[in-house]
Amino acid sequence: MKNVGKYARGYFMPPVKSMKWAMKEYITEAPVWCSVDLRDGNQALVVPMTLEEKLEYFQMLVSIGFKEIEVGFPAASETEYAFLRTLIEEDLIPDDVTIQVLTQSRDHIIKKTFESLKGAKNAVVHLYNSTSVAQREQVFKKSKKEIIDIAVTGANLLQKYASETEGNFKFQYSPESFTSTEIEFALDICNSVLDVWKPTNDSKVIINLPATVSYSMPHVYASQIEYMSDHLSYRENVILSVHPHNDRGTGVADAELGILAGAERVEGTLFGNGERTGNVDIVTLALNMYSHGIDPLLKLDNIREIISVYEQQTKMKVYERHPYAGELVFTAFSGSHQDAIAKGMKWREEKDCDQWTVPYLPIDPKDIGREYEGDIIRINSQSGKGGIGYVLEQKFKFDLPKDMRESVGYSVKNASDHLHKELIPNEIYDIFMQEYVNIKEPMEFIRFSFSNDDNFETTVTLNVNGEMNEFQGVGKGRLDAISNAIQTELGIAYTNLVYKEHALEVGSESQAVSYVGVTSQNGTVYWGCGIDVDIMTSSVKALFSAVNKLVASEGIELNGISTSKTTKHA
């Protein structure tokens, strides 16, 4: 691409190597989660939420289990101010939930912020100012010392107004654009603020290090976080927080490595809503931990309901391939994937497994409120026999023989390919019923009878083009006798009669289902299925379904019986 030389690396590595985080394998406990949906997320919406929408969203965040929620920038607009006052005055904030508000380091803004917080049971006042090279030089045109003075002035004002305001307050400071700030300067300004607040074990403060714009690979951010963690003053009384954005598509990785590097708190949004490419996605972060057996301490087992409220209030959409939450993320269309999932689910059922190890599914979809039927395996022209067989078994209780699944699979895939569409379970059922079950053309089975149970002598009655015909046969068993009658009397040759049966529950009625496969002289296997309240009758219907497919497909003429009026069954 052209103009590549105009882009320099916009980040700063620590002056010493900080790589202890790289020795850790995984996150061992959930961080403190702070939702910034109602502030950072809300300001990024095309149409910000109304007061009523913010109230409903707040209640959802509480129900999910967030204990810290940034509710807005109350000095910025009347809606923000009114929302905060409504939460406080109508006692809508649970005792174990801390609200957070944002403020710039300006006297009148901080004053109004504390006015909005009067009577708050627990609140974090979040002070920030920009510290990056670009912001200092291009926007504020101030020296490092002047930028530090802005932060220190704000820190002092927070203490002043907190002492004059009814409520319980904790302080937070963010060097905005931390990732594009020289690390030594970021450390200096944070420590200057800490020297004002002098945090103690009983009065801890939050230092939040945002990737306001993501410039580096995640390991660089981790090294920056680790350096700050190792060198911050009053470290034992500081809660270290990260606030990654997703400009490089690495927001989740930045947060995860940031936690390994010493961060104890994460600010983010549901599904990653936020400025530009968004904030870090807390749903993905939390369920990543869950997939490693770590309780994220958030209630995400009703993901569809959460998505519904999110989409309604933000007017945003959760992408179909969004990790964990997307409509298609647990869905397999590929035949090989479907086969592996179906076998994995069966293995899990047979072995009564405690651990989740199903191929292609990192977590059990049911744990977040998703259903196996219609969620895991969906059918189109790319699907395979395993997936189609799985749908018929899970949804309709047809346990097809292994070899029959291939035949049914081709029929269903061909239909999907011809229609250029995904097939829903009922459409798959209709195809199976039409092409395999109780087929009556060219020969419709009417009845059978046996005159000798020892030799299994049978008389079979058929209807071909409205004419009744009776044929006799003898065999080693009932189905064998009827099969011999078909072959001898009608001149239909086939071998390798394969048979399987089981009970089929349909509503309140118990029926029997049978499957029969026969091999024609050219080696093609034809399968049929029979359903009846009587197990023997279902077996005979399955046999005739298979033989009818053979006759129709290979154009066989029946001995002495005209089939010219019949329609061949595809």
Confidence of residue 166 (pLDDT cuts 50, 70, 90): very high
Confidence of residue 565 (pLDDT cuts 50, 70, 90): very low
- Name the nearest CA neighbour of 515 among 479, 488, 481: 479
For the domain made up of 444-554, the CATH class stated in words is alpha beta
**What is the share, in percent, of the chain residues with pLDDT greater than 90?**
73
Q: Give the per-residue pLDDT at 453.
A: 64
Q: Give the per-residue pLDDT at 506.
A: 56
Q: How far apart are CA 110 and CA 6, in angstroms?
A: 39
In the predicted model, what is the mean pLDDT of residues 363-371? 92
Confidence of residue 124 (pLDDT cuts 50, 70, 90): very high
Q: Give the per-residue pLDDT at 16.
A: 87
Q: Give the per-residue pLDDT at 336.
A: 81
- Report the side by side order of strands in the sheet with 494-506: 494-506, 509-520, 525-532
pTM here is 0.80
- Name the nearest CA neighbour of 547 among 568, 570, 526, 569: 526
Cα–Cα–Cα angle for 434, 436, 438, nearest 5°? 85
Q: Please give the CATH topology (third level) of the domain spanning 29-314.
A: TIM Barrel (3.20.20)
Q: Give the per-residue pLDDT at 385.
A: 67
Q: How far apart are CA 147 and CA 294, in angstroms?
A: 41
pLDDT at 394 over 90: no
The runs of H, that is alpha helices, within 473-534 are: 478-490
The runs of H, that is alpha helices, within 352-437 are: 385-396, 402-419, 425-436
Q: Give the per-residue pLDDT at 467.
A: 86
Tokens of 184: 């030594």
Pairwise pLDDT comparison (388 vs 183), residue with the higher score:
183
Peptide bond preceding 442 in cis form (omega within 30 of 0): yes
pLDDT at 508 over 90: no
Burial of 534 (0-12, 13-18, 19+ CB in 10 A): exposed
Tell me the per-residue pLDDT of 61-94, one tens digit each, with 9 for 90 and over. 999 999 999 999 999 989 999 999 999 999 999 9
How is the chain split into domains, by residue range? 29-314, 335-436, 444-554
